[in-house]
């Protein structure tokens, strides 16, 4: 069973996922990165451009999902280096530090809250989120074109692409596609008809929606919703 709550870290979500006997569902691209805990391991989920299907036996997880573009400053590594990956935190930070954090999580009554506390401690020392990138996410999530957004933000295409690679793991066009997918799934899950979902989310029509959903998730929209998405 999957549960989540709003984090004390601005824009983040704290979550847990406990096996229920059903097969593991794919993790869909959402523009975010996560710090995760499972069976004594601390891992980082990089930004996905395709569905991620967990391998091995089902197990319980706890995690904190960072809002788009904010994790690299906290982790100290560019997002593109972690794209489509699941990486041990010890590969990014000194082993001794990670051992102390692992002991801290193991000793805590709630692993998810312990991860949240670790992140809040880290945020005190990390660089502040880039307001330009925050505004970029807002504009793209409103469905504005990438070129018009770049002009509005006063940044050139090459610089915008480079900064997006560092912050999100991919360029602004891919980010826009993923944010649009997220809007469409939210609308469809709330019961909005597919044709209306397509228009409201920013697609040309329902076939365009269908192609993009399958292209980014590997599954048709109806199957995603029927399986709980």
> Average pLDDT, stretch 120-146?
93
Least Cα distance to 45 among 57, 63, 59, 60 occurs for 63
Is residue 14 located within the same domain as residue 77? yes
Query: What crossing angle do the helices spanning 172-189 and 194-201 adopt, rounded to 10°?
Result: 140
Is residue 115 located within the same domain as residue 152? no
Is residue 104 located within the same domain as residue 61? yes
pLDDT class of 22 with cuts at 50, 70, 90: low
Provide the domain limits for residue 147.
134-226
Domain boundary among 125, 157, 180: 125
**Structural domain tally of the chain?**
2
Decide: 188 and 197 in contact? Cβ < 8 Å. Answer: yes
77-130: per-residue pLDDT in tens? 999 999 999 999 999 999 999 999 999 999 999 999 999 999 999 999 998 888
- The CATH number covering residue 148 comes to 1.10.10.60
Domain boundary among 96, 125, 154: 125
Domain boundary among 64, 94, 125: 125
178-212: per-residue pLDDT in tens? 999 999 999 999 999 999 999 999 999 999 999 99
Q: Rounded distance, CA 9 to CA 119, Å?
A: 8
Is residue 99 located within the same domain as residue 201? no
Is residue 99 located within the same domain as residue 64? yes
pLDDT class of 21 with cuts at 50, 70, 90: low
Is residue 138 located within the same domain as residue 76? no
């Amino acid at each position: 069973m999957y549960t989540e709550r709003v984090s004390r870290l601005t824009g983040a979500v704290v979550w847990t996922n406990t096996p229920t006997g059903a097969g593991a569902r794919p993790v869909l691209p959402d523009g975010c990165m996560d710090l995760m805990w499972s069976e004594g391991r601390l891992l980082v989920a990089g930004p996905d451009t395709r569905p991620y299907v967990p391998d091995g036996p089902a197990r319980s997880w706890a995690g904190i999902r960072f809002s788009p573009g904010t994790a690299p400053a906290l982790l100290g590594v560019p997002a593109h280096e972690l794209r489509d990956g699941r990486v041990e935190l010890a590969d990014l930070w000194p082993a001794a530090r990670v051992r102390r954090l692992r002991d801290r999580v193991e000793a805590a009554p709630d692993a998810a809250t312990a991860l949240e506390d670790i992140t809040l401690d880290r945020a005190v020392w990390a660089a502040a989120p880039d307001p330009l990138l925050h505004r970029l996410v807002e504009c793209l999530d409103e469905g504005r074109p990438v070129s018009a957004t770049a002009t509005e933000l006063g940044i050139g295409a090459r610089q915008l692409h480079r900064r997006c690679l560092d912050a999100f793991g991919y360029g602004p066009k891919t980010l826009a596609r993923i944010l649009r997918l997220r809007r469409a799934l939210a609308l469809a899950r709330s019961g909005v008809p597919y044709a209306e979902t397509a228009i409201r989310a920013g697609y040309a029509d329902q076939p365009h929606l269908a192609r993009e959903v399958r292209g980014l998730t590997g599954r048709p929209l109806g199957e995603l919703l029927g399986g709980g998405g």
